[in-house]
């Protein structure tokens, strides 16, 4: 078997790495650094006896290159189309993927996966031993399920083979009714619809799929053999997000489907984040509504829906909150509890208490809801922390007494008061009691407020923060956590890592000291599961980095 490979890669380092690795696999390698030389070598290969190449290792250019384009065009010409090509790329741009998708006997690898060329070459060089019916996907798109609808059997199967070669899951339908039935019984992500069907038109099918609650999550794209303005307009008005044409190249169609797949994945990620956020809000904040600057409801937590006897948020989202409680009922002071009757259409009124909290400068308001007969916003499912355990630590008793004083005081005339809980670890090395005492001593040298700091559990230090503005709580949190991370501990080679959670006392004035610390502890548990060196501002549900990147000062928790 011929084992001679042509390698073209402008980078000397990458060329050397790939050449050595191919040699180690038993291949003979002719390496060139210019695409022009590779083109000449490919054209001249047949002049020497047994000089032809078994395959090509093509280093894809990171920027547009005219000589690389000419070499790629040569590989698409008759006489070279069957030559196996492994494309090595530093990125996965759509143009790269499209070229690979449109050429037979071609696969794509990122440079960090260069050791996989053994498997790719072995597969392509032994295609004669592989069943003609077997499809080897070039990419893993198995998370996307396509519904292809066309009344031409040849087009249906051609599209199926093309998409399955890219790793998509594909289901075929030939009629309007068959497509609707399949969409209702299977979880489809993207429907590719022929515009002209024997039993209807694609725009009618698109409108039915996108407007039916049972199939409304499907993204629809139209595929037609006629380039006509009125077809495009009808398709887009029906809800299609893309129009493709059968006379387009396979590469272009695949590029469009690839772009739609990315959008579908992003939408799915947002949905999952929303579900995760709902669970977080439900656990930590309870029944809450988010109201925008025009007093319209923009978000309702699951517990709020349950409290208002609503199965979904359809009647709430986009509706002014004053329609449910009246202008007078909503006009109460911020940060105070108000008794109202919440009136829903065709539902009995619900007696509620609510408290408004302004969210920074976002011109939004967070409403905390509870049944009127309840007198506390504490979560009854949370067991109170054992205060005696906290008091057993040095300064624990003073800390609890100081925290209780701030809670009874309700408001600090000089600004804001918050509680910060920090969990400290030393990577893979365990910290002992002496280590935490060392950390406390070092931090007290900076903080200089003994009653405002204490250990409340192993690994966890609590701080009472006094600050003039709400953003200062995050800045103080970053400073304290960076100090925790940077303290040198005897016997430990590595620096610490930490996670933190902050809550404001004004937003939790009805809680006892133990209930407040329990809430902060739950938030800290959430942060710890997501990784180190992050802090959660629980009141606004934002996860913030202790060491933010330039231009990335914060990120939503979802």
pLDDT digit string, tens, across residues 2-46:
678 999 999 998 899 899 988 888 888 999 999 999 998 888 875
The pLDDT > 70 percentage for the chain reads 85
Inform me whether the pLDDT recorded for 423 exceeds 50.
Answer: yes
CATH 3.30.450.20 maps onto the chain at 285-371
CB 194 within 8 A of CB 150: yes
Q: What is the pLDDT of residue 156?
A: 86
Q: What is the pLDDT of residue 448?
A: 79
Lowest mean pLDDT among 22-36, 274-288, 447-461: 274-288
Order of strands across the sheet that contains 190-194: 169-173, 145-149, 190-194, 219-224, 242-245
Inform me whether the pLDDT recorded for 331 exceeds 60.
Answer: yes
Under the banding of pLDDT at 50, 70 and 90, the label for residue 492 is confident
Considering Cα of 190, then 196, then 197, then 203, what sign does the dihedral take?
positive
Q: What is the pLDDT of residue 377?
A: 35
> What is the mean predicted confidence (pLDDT) over 193-208?
91
> What is the mean predicted confidence (pLDDT) over 482-486?
87
Under the banding of pLDDT at 50, 70 and 90, the label for residue 238 is very high
Instruction: Work out the number of other CB atoms within 10 angstroms of the CB of residue 51.
Output: 13
Inform me whether the pLDDT recorded for 94 exceeds 80.
Answer: no
- Bridge-based pairing of strands 555-556 and 542-545 is antiparallel
- What value does the mean pLDDT of the chain take? 81
Under the banding of pLDDT at 50, 70 and 90, the label for residue 243 is very high
> What is the mean predicted confidence (pLDDT) over 357-370?
78
Q: At 448, is the secondary structure helix, strand, or coil?
A: coil
Instruction: Work out the number of other CB atoms within 10 angstroms of the CB of residue 524.
Output: 22
Q: What is the pLDDT of residues 245-258, one digit of tens each?
A: 887 888 888 989 99
Q: Class of 387-556 per CATH? A: alpha beta
Q: What is the pLDDT of residues 513-551, one digit of tens each?
A: 877 888 888 888 888 878 888 998 887 778 888 887 654
Q: What is the CATH number of domain 285-371?
A: 3.30.450.20
Inform me whether the pLDDT recorded for 382 exceeds 60.
Answer: no
Q: What is the pLDDT of residue 362?
A: 58
CB 388 within 8 A of CB 445: no
Under the banding of pLDDT at 50, 70 and 90, the label for residue 419 is very high
The pLDDT > 90 percentage for the chain reads 20
Inform me whether the pLDDT recorded for 72 exceeds 70.
Answer: yes
Assigned architecture for domain 4-129? 3-Layer(aba) Sandwich (3.40)
Under the banding of pLDDT at 50, 70 and 90, the label for residue 240 is very high
> What is the mean predicted confidence (pLDDT) over 407-430?
76
- Bridge-based pairing of strands 350-359 and 337-342 is antiparallel
Compute CA distances 426 → 339, 484, 536, 543, whole Å.
Answer: 49, 10, 20, 22
Lowest mean pLDDT among 29-33, 71-75, 117-121, 283-287: 283-287
Inform me whether the pLDDT recorded for 553 exceeds 70.
Answer: no
> What is the mean predicted confidence (pLDDT) over 206-223?
90
Compute CA distances 246 → 56, 66, 225, 232, whole Å.
Answer: 31, 29, 5, 14
Q: What is the pLDDT of residue 234?
A: 92
Q: Half-sphere exposure of 63 toward its Cβ, with a 13 Å CA cutoff?
A: 1
Inform me whether the pLDDT recorded for 138 exceeds 70.
Answer: no
Q: What is the pLDDT of residue 522?
A: 82
Q: State the virtual CA torsion across 291, 292, 296, 302 in degrees, nearest 10.
A: -40
Q: Class of 145-272 per CATH? A: alpha beta
CATH 3.30.70.270 maps onto the chain at 387-556
Residue 248: partners with Cβ closer than 8 Å, 6 or more residues away: none
Which segments of 294-395 are extended strands (E)?
297-300, 337-342, 350-359, 364-371
CB 459 within 8 A of CB 422: no
CATH 3.40.50.2300 maps onto the chain at 4-129, 145-272
Inform me whether the pLDDT recorded for 282 exceeds 90.
Answer: no
Inform me whether the pLDDT recorded for 554 exceeds 50.
Answer: no
Q: State the virtual CA torsion across 484, 488, 490, 491 in degrees, nearest 10.
A: 90
Compute CA distances 344 → 78, 294, 300, 324, whole Å.
Answer: 71, 20, 14, 6
């Amino acid at each position: 078997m011929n084992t001679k490979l042509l390698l073209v890669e402008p980078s000397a380092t990458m060329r050397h790495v790939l050449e050595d690795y191919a040699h180690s696999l038993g291949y003979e390698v002719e390496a060139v650094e210019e695409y022009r030389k590779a083109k000449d070598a490919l054209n001249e290969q047949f002049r020497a006896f047994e000089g032809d190449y078994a395959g090509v290792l093509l280093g894809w250019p990171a920027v547009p290159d005219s000589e690389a384009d000419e070499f790629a065009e040569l590989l698409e010409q008759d006489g070279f189309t069957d030559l196996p090509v492994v494309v090595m790329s530093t990125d996965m741009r759509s143009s790269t993927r499209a070229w690979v998708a449109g050429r037979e006997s071609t696969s794509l690898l990122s440079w960090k996966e260069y050791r996989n060329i053994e498997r790719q070459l072995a597969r392509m060089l032994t295609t004669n031993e592989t069943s003609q019916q077997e499809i080897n996907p070039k990419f893993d798109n198995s998370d996307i399920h396509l519904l292809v609808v066309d009344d031409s059997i040849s087009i249906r199967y051609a599209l199926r083979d093309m998409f399955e070669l890219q790793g998509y899951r594909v289901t075929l339908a030939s009629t309007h009714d068959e497509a609707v039935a399949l969409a209702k019984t299977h979880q489809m992500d993207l429907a590719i619809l022929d515009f002209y069907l024997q039993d209807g038109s694609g725009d009618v099918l698109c409108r039915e799929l996108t407007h039916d609650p049972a199939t409304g999550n499907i993204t629809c794209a139209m595929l037609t053999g006629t380039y006509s303005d009125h077809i495009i307009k009808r398709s887009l008005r029906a809800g299609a997000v893309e129009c493709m044409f059968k006379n387009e190249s396979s590469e272009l169609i695949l590029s469009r489907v690839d772009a739609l797949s990315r959008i579908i994945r992003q939408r799915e990620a947002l949905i999952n984040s929303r579900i995760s956020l709902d669970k977080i809000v439900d656990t930590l904040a309870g029944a809450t509504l988010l109201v925008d600057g025009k007093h319209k409801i923009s978000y309702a937590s699951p517990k709020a829906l349950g409290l208002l006897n609503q199965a979904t948020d359809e009647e709430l989202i986009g509706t002014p909150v004053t329609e449910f409680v009246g202008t007078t009922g909503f006009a109460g002071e911020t940060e105070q509890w108000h008794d109202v009757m919440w009136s829903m259409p065709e539902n009995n009124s619900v007696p509620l208490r609510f408290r408004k909290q302004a969210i920074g400068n976002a011109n939004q308001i967070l409403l905390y809801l509870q049944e009127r007969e309840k007198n506390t916003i504490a979560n009854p499912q949370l067991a109170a922390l054992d205060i005696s355990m906290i008091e057993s630590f040095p300064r624990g008793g003073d800390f609890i007494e100081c925290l209780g004083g701030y809670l009874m005081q309700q408001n600090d005339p000089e600004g804001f008061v918050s509680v910060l809980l920090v969990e400290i670890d030393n990577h893979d090395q365990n910290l002992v009691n002496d280590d935490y005492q060392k950390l406390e001593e070092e931090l007290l040298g900076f903080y200089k407020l003994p009653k405002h700091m204490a250990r409340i559990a192993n690994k966890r230090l609590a701080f009472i923060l006094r600050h003039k503005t709400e953003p200062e709580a995050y800045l103080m949190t970053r400073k304290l956590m960076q100090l925790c991370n940077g303290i040198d501990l005897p016997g430990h080679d590595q620096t610490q890592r930490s996670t933190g959670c902050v809550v404001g006392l004004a937003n939790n004035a009805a809680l006892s000291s133990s209930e407040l610390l329990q809430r902060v502890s739950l938030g800290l548990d959430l942060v710890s599961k997501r990784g180190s060196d992050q802090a959660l501002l629980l009141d606004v549900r934002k996860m913030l980095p202790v060491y933010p990147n330039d231009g990335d000062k914060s990120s939503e928790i979802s």
